[in-house]
Amino acid sequence: MKRKTVKQAFYTSLPVLAGYIVLGIGFGILLRNAGYGVLWAAVMSISIYAGSLQYVGVGLIASGASLITTAATSLMVNARHLFYSISMIDKYKGAGKYKPYMIFALTDETYSLLCDGKAPDRVDANLYRFLVSLFNHSYWIIGGIIGNLLGAVLPFSSAGIEFSMTALFVASLTEQWLATRDHVPALTGLLSTLLCLIVFGRDSFLIPAMLLITLVLTLLRGREEGAK
């Protein structure tokens, strides 16, 4: 069972492999251009492990930002992780010794792979979720190191490869859409965020969007629970 679990976890993590290596390389290059070597890249990717914050973090480090600014920026950029954790509370119950690491490593991409709460047949579900988290983390670290060491000497034009992350979220959304007849939550997420993007602009729409989504889903609670 253990071998099958490892194999399944690796297979599940494959879509993130390409994306994390590429995004990690992007981060590694950015950090190198700011004057920080491979050790810094590794430390950041291991300890922070949050893509968008690490990109923003390069700027914070380079400009010597204050710790208050750093904390506030981290809060704003990563507030959405509260959402992920809330929806995994029940699913991560009983994960035992794996649980602290699984919570620490709950990134956007890992969340999108595990949030449906399903695990393949005949695998140890907790070990499976732990390994998916661990594999993804290692891709991210390796990407950052490669980018920092090799810089901009890639042999082919990789322009557009960052779309793999968008594709991952579109694929997850499609899968969730097909798995249920209740499309209200998905539509709430899409339309609330689109509305906030139009109203607040692309630099500050994410937190209003999260508030609006929570509000709408709370108001729809009676109706949604009645439908189930």
199 binds other proteins (CB under 8 A): no
Rounded to a whole number of angstroms, the minimum distance from the CB of residue 39 to other proteins is 11
- What is the footprint of other proteins within residues 37-56 (CB under 8 A)? 40, 43-44, 47-50, 53-54
Taking CB under 8 A as the criterion, the residue among 42, 55, 81, 149 binding other proteins is 81
Taking CB under 8 A as the criterion, the residue among 42, 84, 134, 149 binding other proteins is 84
131 binds other proteins (CB under 8 A): no
Rounded to a whole number of angstroms, the minimum distance from the CB of residue 47 to other proteins is 4
Rounded to a whole number of angstroms, the minimum distance from the CB of residue 15 to other proteins is 5
**Nearer to other proteins (CB atom), residue 38 or residue 173:** 173
User: Are 5 and 128 spatial neighbours (Cβ–Cβ below 8 Å)?
Assistant: yes
Taking CB under 8 A as the criterion, the residue among 7, 10, 83, 215 binding other proteins is 83
**CA 144/CA 54 separation, integer angstroms:** 10
Give the residue among 1, 51, 8 at the shortest CA–CA distance from 28.
51
Stretch that binds other proteins, among 57-65, 120-128, 133-141, 147-155 (CB under 8 A): 57-65
225 binds other proteins (CB under 8 A): yes
Q: Say what angle helices 2-33 and 51-62 make with each other, to 10 degrees.
A: 30
Residues near other proteins (CB under 8 A), total: 95
User: Are 164 and 22 spatial neighbours (Cβ–Cβ below 8 Å)?
Assistant: yes
Question: If you write DSSP's letter for every residue of 6-39 in order, what string do you get?
Answer: HHHHHHHHHHHHHHHHHHHHHHHHHHHHTT--HH
207 binds other proteins (CB under 8 A): no
User: Any idea what the Cα angle at residue 210 is, between residues 99 and 193, rounded to 5°?
Assistant: 125
Taking CB under 8 A as the criterion, the residue among 106, 123, 127, 145 binding other proteins is 106
**CA 91/CA 83 separation, integer angstroms:** 14
